[in-house]
Chains A and B, each alone.
Chain A
Amino acid sequence: MKSGSNLEQVLTEGHFAVTSEIGPPKGTSADFVRKTAEHLKNCCDAMNVTDNQTAIVRMSSLAACAILRQMGIDAVTQMVTRDRNRLAMQSDILGAVALGIRNLLCLSGDHQKFGNHPTAKNVYDVDSIQLAQMVKTMRDEGLFMSGDKISGEVPIFIGCAANPFADPFEFRVLRLAKKIRAGADFIQTQAVFDVPRFSAWMEMVRDEGLHEQTHILAGIIPMKSAGMARYMRKYVAGLMIPDDLVTRMEHAQDAKEEGIAIAVELIEQMRDIPGVRGVHIMAVAWEEVVPEIVERARLLPRPIV
C-alpha cells in the first residue's frame, strides 16, 4: 500500500470504486461541510473537496477535508497550482498527512479570470504534472523538491485529472501517460456525456496499457435541468454534451428524474468499458441526489475493506 487510504484499498481489491465530491462553503460553516458530507457518506469510498473551484474563493479544501476526517470519511484533498507556490504546497501536504488525509488530487486549476478575483496574480510555480511528481518524490524518496530530507512518512495516494474531451484528442492519452510517469496512482476524468468519444479514448488508453498502470475513474455530473445542460455545454470549458442528451432533458416531464436516469445510464455504460475502475460523481450543490444514483446503479452497499 502506498497510502493505505480507503480509496486505494477499494481499488487494489478490485472493486468498482465510487468517489464523490463536495464544494465547500463560501463561508466559515463547518456544519455545512458536515451536513453535505453526511448525505454522501455511505454511498462513496472517498470524498473529494474542491479547491477554490472555478477560481471562486471558498473554505480551504484542506480544512474541509480535516472535518471529513473527524467524521471518519476518506478525504481526497484537491490542490490547484494556481494559488500556491512549491513551498506552500509542500507545507500543506505535510499538514494534510498530519491531519489523516491520504489522497491528493493534483490540478492546475481554472484561470482566475473565470472566478471572483479576476485581477489576482496567478502562481503556477509548478504545474499539475510537476505537482504529482513532487508528491511522489515526497512519498517514495522522503525528499522535498529541493532534495532536503522530510522527517516522517508521506503516505499519499496521488490523483490526477484527465480530460478526454479536450484537444488535441490524440495527445490526451500521451499526456495521461506522462501523468502516470509523474506519479498518478488514480485518475478522475472530466464528466463523461459523450460515451463514444470516451470509449475511443479508453481504447487508446488500453492500447498503451495505461489502464493497468493507474486506476481510472470516469467523471459523472448529474444534470438538474435542461438549462444546466445547455449552460454546461456552452460555458464549461472542456465539456462535451451530445445534442440528444440535451434534447432528452428539454423534453422530460420531470427534468430532475431524467437527469438522474441519464447519470445512472452513464454509470452503467462506464462499467462496461474495459479498464474503467470506478466513477467519480460530481453533484456540487445537488449532493443529496448522489445516494439515489449510486443505489439505482446497483453500487450499494459500498465495500468495507
Chain B
Amino acid sequence: MIIGEQKTLEEIKKLVADHDRILILGCGTCVTVCFAGGEKEVGILASSLRMATEIDNQEKVFDEATVQRQCEWEFLDAVEEEIQSHDLVLSMACGIGVQAIVERFPEARVAPAINTTFLGLPEEHGLWTERCAACGECILHLTAGICPIARCAKSMLNGPCGGSQGGECEIDPEVPCAWQLIYDRLKAQGRLDQMLEVMPARDWSTGRDGGPRKLVREDLRLQSQDHE
C-alpha cells in the first residue's frame, strides 16, 4: 500500500496561513491503514489547528470530511459542495488524491498535509518499510521475491556490493542489505546458480525514467464505450 506521513504542524500552519475556511479532507484507503490521513487523523489535525490558530488569535474555520478514496473522482463528487464552499482543501491523502481534486475541481485550492513516502508494508506496529518502486517490470522471480530496485540503495542487479557487511547496507546499519537477503533465500532454496548469471542492464523506460506512465486496457475501454 501507499505509505504516508503527516507534515509537521508548523509546516501545515504555513500552508493554511492565507486561508480562512479550510476543509481537511481525509482518505479512507491506504493512508487510513497507515494512520496518516484517515478520519481519525483528520479529527486530530483539525483540533490541533483550531487550538494553534486560536492561540495565534486567528479566526479560521476548519471543517472535516473523509471520503473512501480520494484518488477516484466519483468519491470526490460526493463532497463537491464542501470542496467548493471552502477556500482551501487540506488534503490528507497521498499525492494522487491531491491531484485528483485539482483535476476534478479546477477552481479549488488544494494543499497537501501529508508526504507520500513510499510503497511498502507494516513490519511491526509503528514501523513501515519500502517494498516496491513501481518500476514497471517486475523481476521478483529472479531475486527470490525480494526487490533490489526498491530495497538496494544502489538498485543494483548484481549485488551485493562491497558495502554489504554482516547483512547491513553501507548507508545505514538499520537497513538490511537486499542482496544479502536474496543470497540467503536463494542459497536456502538451492537456487544460488541464479545469482551467478550476469543480470543485464535493465530497461528503465518502463519506470519513471521513461516519462509519466499510463496504462490502457482496450478490453475495458471497449466495454465501457459499449455501455455508453
Chain A interface (Cβ within 8 Å of chain B)? 111-113, 118-122
Closest B residue, CB atoms, query A119: B203
B48 within 8 A of A: no
Q: Which 3 A-B pairs have the closest CB atoms?
A: A119-B203, A121-B204, A121-B209
Residue of A nearest to B201 (CB): A119
A119 CA to B210 CA in the complex, in Å? 8
Pairs across A and B, CB under 8 Å, 17 listed: A111-B211, A112-B209, A113-B205, A113-B210, A113-B211, A118-B205, A119-B201, A119-B202, A119-B203, A119-B204, A120-B204, A120-B209, A121-B204, A121-B207, A121-B209, A122-B204, A122-B209
CA distance A23 to B209 in the complex (A): 25
Chain B residues, Cβ within 8 Å of A111: 211
Contacts of A112 in B (CB 8 A): 209
Assembly CA distance A230 to B75 (angstroms): 49
A128 CB, min distance to chain B CBs, angstroms: 18
Give the complex CA separation of A114 and B149 in angstroms. Answer: 25
Chain B contacts to A: CB under 8 angstroms = 201-205, 207, 209-211
Q: How far is the CA of A113 from the CA of B211 in the complex (A)?
A: 9
Residue of A nearest to B155 (CB): A121
Task: Give the complex CA separation of A122 and B211 in angstroms.
Answer: 10
A118–B201 Cα gap in the complex (Å)? 12
Bound CA span A113–B210, Å: 7
Chain A residues with CB under 8 A of B211 = 111, 113
Determine the residue in chain B with the shortest Cβ distance to A123.
B209
Q: Which of A112, A121, A122 has the most CB of B within 10 A?
A: A121
Closest chain-B Cβ to A190's Cβ sits at a distance in Å of 21
CA distance A26 to B207 in the complex (A): 28
- Cα distance, A113 to B205, chains bound together (Å): 8
**How close is A13's CB to chain B, nearest CB, in angstroms?**
45
Residue with the highest number of chain A CB atoms closer than 10 Å, among B202, B203, B204, B207: B204
Could you say which residues of chain B place their CB within 8 Å of the CB of A121?
204, 207, 209
B139 to chain A, nearest CB (A): 14
Contacts of B202 in A (CB 8 A): 119
For the complex, give the distance between the alpha carbons of A113 and B209 in Å.
9
A79 to B160, CA, bound (A): 32
For B203, the chain A residues whose CB sits under 8 A away are 119
Please indicate the chain B residues that have their CB under 8 angstroms from the CB of A122 in the complex: 204, 209
Q: How far is the CA of A156 from the CA of B205 in the complex (A)?
A: 35
Q: A1 CA to B210 CA in the complex, in Å?
A: 42
Q: Which residue of A lies closest to B205 (CB)?
A: A119
